[in-house]
Structure 1
Amino acid sequence: MKKIYFFTVLLSFLASSQNQDSLQLPANDALNESLHKEKVSAIDDVIITGSLKPVSRSKSPVAVEIYTSKFFQKNPTPSIFESIAMINGVKPQLNCSVCNTGDIHINGLEGPYTMILIDGMPIVSSLSTVYGLSGIPNSLVDRIEVVKGPASSLYGSEAMGGVINIITKNALTAPKFSVDMMTTTWSENNLDLSTKFNLGLNAASILSLNYFNFTKRFDENSDNFTDGALQNRISVFNKYNFKRAENRQASFALRYLYEDRFGGEMQWTKANRGGSDIYGESIYTNRVEAFGLYQWPLKEQIFTQFSYNFHDQNSYYGNSLFSATQKVAFLQTYWNKKLKNHDLLFGVTYKKTHYDDSTPGTKAANGIDNQPMNAPLAGIFVQDQWDVGEKNTFLLGYRLDYDKIHHAVHSPRFAWKFSPDALHALRLNIGTGFRVVNLFTEDHAALTGSREVVIKDNLMPERSFNGNLNYLWKIPVSEQIFTVDASAFYTYFTNKITGDFDSDPDKIIYDNLKGYGVSRGFSLNFDYTFSFPLSFLIGVSYLDVYQKFDDSREKVQQLHAPKWSGTYSLTYRFQNNIAVDFNGQFYGPMRLPTVTDDFRPEYSPFYSLANIQVSKSFSSGFEVYCGVKNLFNFTPDNPILRPFDPFDRNVDDAVSNPNRYTFDTTYGYAPMQKIRGFLGIKYSLK
């Protein structure tokens, strides 16, 4: 607490160092102009995620949200997984209260329905969605583009809930050198280093290093388990951009990640790894990524994109071993052709996934031989963006994929933008999404017994049908713009793929769910910069996500999908380059994974995770920042069931355990880290 007191005093000193005259800045002050240019909801940024090609945001028929790296710097974190909580309707969900692994939910849908792209490439998926997200440092990010709703007609499987595209920095325009060092009162230490160097006159490279170290153990709720997963992580990123004739594009990037993660009983040491005396969850991750883009030297605009990633996992959950490897190769070529008021796109794709693990999920039918999953997925797509006058734009798209289990899968798409003037834009998107079976993402934790995995011959791909209506209204107020961004959405899911572990004790039978699912709701974002140097962004979302089975009239609410949630971000900038940022998220009650006769409530309470930061920048390129995280000091109660008996040795004790509870780590719905201070320093050489 002494460290938090120090940060609070420093924060107060920086804020008070500004005299009251700074509150009376004129509306046309250069500072306000700078604020206006740096607004998060940029008026006419260039986007690529909605239609795979660069287009101004105002002309795109697909609603795409843009968040720059400056936005995420308002709440400094060591990884994208934590930062992305600042986006309304996007929730990083912790799935384990011990090892703190998680995934990203869009509009209440589970992680496997969200596609994570890096520079448009499907680098993060399946195994790495759970274990690799926390290894993406903020230092790589130029901006993040978000499309909510199915995008399978353009991006294929796994894009049923939405797409998050992480656009990395361009080596040609990156700073020559930058460094960012941050520490917290919980001894979380993060270092970002980046340098740029030219390779002749026509090429440049950016080399980035991220190191995160958190090894101090905390147990403030006294359950003898670490409140936060300890991590020792290093990520090295190297990207090359090339100048070519007629502004043709070419880039290539490599990244390596290593992480040693642990959560468990406080007295655990590495000598206990895999043992049954002291419980610990220990995860070693090795990951290599390569991806690039090349525009052909032709008169026509033809592009080839490629990516490859190798992910090696070695984990122990107590005395249960889970080791796995995943290799994903992706190749895509597309042709962009403009004909009068039509902008055409034709493309072919091929994706090959190799997955092998230590569970029966990758065993042959005889239960002895190993049979890794090898899943090729080939596809073609076509898209036409049609401008009809100055007010109407239509987009028609179609994709055909072929999978060896599901065979042909069709994904049509329709979008319409109506903009009567520069201040109003109405966008309607209608489309379908699909997801093919993936043994890991279905239920890897359950694949622990000697069972034969059976995939039904007539297994159908999961399908979704979506409608999304978005209205963007820019309201001039004095010399500023007040922006209202409203969306309503409805998604209907069929053929959900589930694993049946009960019909036959010797088998895991993957079949389609007899029933349907629905995700519906609306979201509102308000963005404004006042004539004095105050700006705010506030978002609110309402969700109703549920499943309904054919043999039941009752609907079952989706786990970890709060009815109400939202984000808030307020920034005040003083005249002497001091800024104060107050931001956070709030969540209404969400259904939690309880057990029979659970003494814990089925729904979480309303809570908010708030942060405050004070920063000061200098003309020399230095910036100092400090603040407090989890300002309201919220943590969930009883996130682990029976933490005193993690190996379930005393489950059958009728006196001490009449309800036959077992050790369970899935109830946690928010981080266990309490209020803590942080302090950091940055330097950038242009």
Structure 2
Amino acid sequence: MKQIILALMLAVAGIGVAVAANPIREGNMISGHVLVKGSEENIPYATVLIVGSGQGTVSNEEGQFEFKNLPAGKYTLRVSAVGYKTQEKAIEVNKDFTAVVHFQMEEESFMTDEVVVSANRNEVSRKAAPVVVNVMSAKLFEMVNSTDLAKTLNYQSGLRVENNCQNCGFPQVRINGLEGPYSQILINSRPVISALSGVYGLEQIPVNMIERVEVVRGGGSALFGANAVGGTINIITKDPINNSFQVSSMFSNMDGKSWEQYMGGNVSLVSKDNSYGIALYESYRNRNPYDRDGDGFSELGKLNMNTFGFRAYYRPTHFSRINLEYHTTNEFRRGGNKFDLQPHEADITEQTKHIINSGGLSYDLFWREYKHKISLYGSIQHTDRNSYYGAQKDMNAYGKTDDLTWVAGGMYVGNMNNCLFAPATFTGGLEYQNNSLHDVMTGYHRDMQQDVRIASAFVQNEWKMNVLTMLVGARLDKHNLIDKLIFSPRVNLLYKPTEDFQARLTYSTGFRAPQAYDEDLHV
């Protein structure tokens, strides 16, 4: 009997040694662990992305993560977590064994290495970007207790948000001192915010739909076209990464005179194999009019707003991705006095009711181990506005405005091992924009229509050497209200002799396109 027990123990021990000495025999899979360097503590909920594919996940409570059903090939993983330096590692996946990788994260006092897309239209580390990109994250939104984008931009250097109307208090952002119309506001890199919707647009974007905001100061027309003279503000909406939900509520008071209520909710659902996911958000905001000096006229108007939206993705294959997004905003605002009366019965009233519907669809296709990518995209935004801008009980000051903006295009990105003298990334694409505005004020016998159409082509090449990065690019725009082609060049140099020292030199241009709508004219 003792001999049988001894034989069984030796057999079990032999099996254990064999398992420990060989890798896990489950192919087409990556398994990993995210730890704190030095202490070896687990880092839960770190974001783990496969660079270039758009595929991602988060580490669990033990800091572990995995990707299953991956085609054999070489991949680059990027791990980021709040308070730690972003890390990247290359790994090779095969069909026979699980690829195992561990990340030891170093603590960082300031977030200086986020991934950004506004520098060159491609995902790139902020430290490696050839232009300076300032990033505002969800952490900042929580710290400053903001409910909308307008309340957050003041915390970014070089930006200033002003309330430019004493009655309705419409906000505009100045970049490098230039007025709001000289800056381009983008949603997921698409210029769908028109001159009309941009008047109150900063307050119509709740923070619970935003993943981050990227700000580039200086001319950006070579990348994003018209109006990017002072700079660009790129709003990146939340992408589904893991199963989660969040509910928030806030009450605030200004000078003991005016109350404001905010409620928001987020839900994110992702399949086990990361083949599809959806992130939904909803927000409600109600603000009473604010009269600072007690003269009976509002400095900040009454505001009531509801927003609902979602962003979803589906991966037909490991080398393709379809993105769909949509959001709708129903907003009422009024400034002036005698809020309990009809607009034409007050001494002065500025009142608008907006119904905004906006959405986008894109398709990304990768090949050759994600070194090449083609993107096809389209975005659209429709604004239906009923307004009253009048004084002295004017019955003729009612108006109605219909505004439609859409953009469609395609882009190719190719990574080359050598282009002339160094490895390079080439980006080229075509884009077409259309904006149709129809404004009617029957009492003033005014019926104005304007159609703006812009056809564009852009190219750029970015060379990456040991300590020097050089980007050269240009864009051609044909505006239907301008006879000549508009040429917008850009040249960017990044000198990085050490990890902690960087020097950048930039030349860029921008232009502002003709447009009928201007808030100063109260069209």
With normalisation by structure 1, the TM-score equals 0.56
Q: Report how far residue 64 of structure 1 moved.
A: 0.8
TM alignment of 1:57-456, pairs within 5 A? 57-173=126-242, 175-185=243-253, 186-198=258-270, 201=273, 202-215=275-288, 217-246=289-318, 248-265=320-337, 267-269=338-340, 271-275=341-345, 277-296=346-365, 300-318=372-390, 319=394, 320-340=397-417, 341-358=423-440, 370=447, 372-387=449-464, 389-407=465-483, 408-441=485-518, 443-445=520-522
> In 2, distance between residues paired with 1:287 and 1:70?
28
CA RMSD of aligned residues (A): 2.6
How far did residue 314 of structure 1 move?
Answer: 1.3
SS of equivalent to 1:124: coil
Seen in structure 2, the aligned counterparts of structure 1 residues 176 and 68 have a Cα distance that, compared at 3 Å, is same
CA-CA distance at 1:345 after TM superposition: 0.6
Kept in 1, the 8 Å contact 2:83–2:111? The answer is no
Contact 1:40 1:67 in 2 (8 A): no
| Post-superposition offset of 1:441 | 3.2
Measured after TM superposition, the shift of residue 71 of structure 1 is 1.4
Which fold has the larger relative contact order, with Cα–Cα distance below 8 Å and residues 6 or more apart in sequence?
1
Distance 1:422 1:179, change over 3 A: same
Percent of pairs with identical residues: 26
The answer (yes or no) to whether the contact 1:48–1:55 under 8 Å persists in 2 is yes
- Deviation readout 1:338-389 (Å, 9 max, x if unpaired): 22212101100000110111269xxxxxx979551111100000000012x3
Shift of 1:30: 8.0
Q: 2 CA distance for matches of 1:44 and 1:219?
A: 43
Could you say if the C-alpha distance between residues 296 and 30 of structure 1 is closer, same or farther in structure 2, counting changes exceeding 3 Å? Answer: closer
Are the equivalent residues in 2 in contact too, given 1:148–1:161 (CA < 8 A)? Answer: yes
Q: CA separation in 1, counterparts of 2:144 and 2:42? A: 21
Name the CA distance, whole Å, in 2 between partners of 1:67 and 1:133.
Answer: 15
Give the Cα separation in 2 of the matches to 1:183 and 1:287: 26
Task: String of CA shifts for 1:26-69, please: whole Å, max 9, x gaps.
Answer: x9898999645696852322211010011112221111112211
SS in 2 for 1:257: strand
The Cα offsets for residues 488-547 of structure 1, whole Å up to 9 and x where unpaired, read as xxxxxxxxxxxxxxxxxxxxxxxxxxxxxxxxxxxxxxxxxxxxxxxxxxxxxxxxxxxx
Rounded to whole Å, the distance in 2 between the matches of 1:255 and 1:41 is: 32
Once the two structures are TM-superposed, the CA of residue 212 in structure 1 deviates from its matched residue by 0.2
Tell whether the 8 Å contact from 1:375 to 1:403 is kept in structure 2 after alignment.
yes
Please give the alpha-carbon distance, in whole angstroms, between the structure 2 residues aligned to 1:222 and 1:30.
Answer: 57
CA shift, 1:280, in A, is: 2.1
The answer (yes or no) to whether the contact 2:343–2:351 under 8 Å persists in 1 is yes
CA gap 1:442/1:218 in 2 versus in 1, 3 angstroms: closer
Shift in Å at residue 400 of structure 1? 0.6
Shift of 1:200: 8.0
| SS of alignment partner, residue 296 of structure 1 | strand
Amino acid at match of 1:401: D
**Amino acid corresponding to residue 283 of structure 2 in structure 1:** N
User: 1:115: Cα distance to partner?
Assistant: 0.8
How far apart, CA to CA, are the structure 1 residues paired with 2:215 and 2:406? 24
Aligned to 1:364: none
User: What aligned pairs does 1:466-481 form with structure 2 within 5 A after superposition?
Assistant: none
1:80-103 CA-partner distances (Å, limit 9, x unpaired): 111111111111121101111122
Asked which structure has the greater CA Rg, the reply is 2
Q: Deviation string for 1:257-296 (max 9, x for gaps)?
A: 011111111x332x42234x53222111110000132113
Instruction: State the alpha-carbon separation in 2 of the partners of residues 274 and 40 from structure 1.
Output: 55
Conserved in 1, the CA contact under 8 Å of 2:309 and 2:328? yes
Q: CA deviation at 1:195?
A: 1.3
Deviation, 1:334, is 0.6
Could you say if the C-alpha distance between residues 208 and 339 of structure 1 is closer, same or farther in structure 2, counting changes exceeding 3 Å?
A: same
Q: Please state whether the residue corresponding to 1:49 is helix, strand or coil.
A: coil
SS at match of 1:225: coil
Structure 1 position 220, deviation (Å): 4.4
Provide the rounded CA distance (Å) in 1 between the counterparts of 2:517 and 2:251. Answer: 35
Q: Give, as a single letter, the amino acid of the residue that structure 2 aligns with 1:259.
A: E
In the alignment, which residue of structure 2 is the partner of 1:56? 125
Per the TM alignment, residue 72 of structure 1 is displaced from its structure 2 partner at its CA by 1.9
Structure 1 letter corresponding to 2:470: F
Distance 1:134 1:167 in 2: 16
- Name the amino acid aligned to 2:342: N
Does structure 1 conserve the Cα–Cα contact (< 8 Å) formed by 2:166 and 2:298?
Answer: no
Which ranges of structure 2 fall in alignment gaps of 5 or more residues? 1-37, 44-80, 86-106, 418-422
Shift in alpha-carbon separation, 1:144–1:220, aligned structure 2, 3 A: closer
- Cα 1:442/1:214, change in 2 over 3 Å: closer
Q: Secondary structure at the match of 2:143?
A: coil
Structure 1: give runs of 5+ residues left out of the alignment.
1-26, 361-366, 448-686
CA contact (8 A) 1:115 1:125 kept: no
State whether residues 204 and 241 of structure 1, in contact with CA within 8 Å, keep that contact through their aligned partners in structure 2. Answer: yes
- The whole-number CA distance in structure 2 between the counterparts of 1:135 and 1:368 is 30
Return the alpha-carbon distance in structure 1 between the equivalents of residues 108 and 207 of structure 2.
19
Q: Which moved more, 1:406-415 or 1:346-355?
A: 406-415
Residue aligned with 1:154, SS: helix
- In 2, the alpha carbon distance for the partners of 1:441 and 1:213 equals 27
User: Counterpart of 1:485?
Assistant: none
Q: 1:134 is aligned with what amino acid?
A: E
Matched AA of 1:309? Q
Residue identity in the other structure for 2:348: Y
When normalised by structure 2's length, the TM-score is 0.73
Mapped contact 1:274–1:317 kept (Cα < 8 A): no
Distance 1:324 1:34 in 2: 44
Describe the shift of the 1:161–1:34 C-alpha distance in structure 2 as closer, same or farther (beyond 3 A): closer
C-alpha contact (below 8 Å) 1:121/1:305 kept by paired residues: no
C-alpha separation in 2, matches of 1:39 and 1:357: 52
Q: Which residue identity is paired with 2:410? A: T
Q: Distance in 1 between matches of 2:295 and 2:446?
A: 42
2:203 & 2:39 partners in 1: Cα distance? Answer: 42
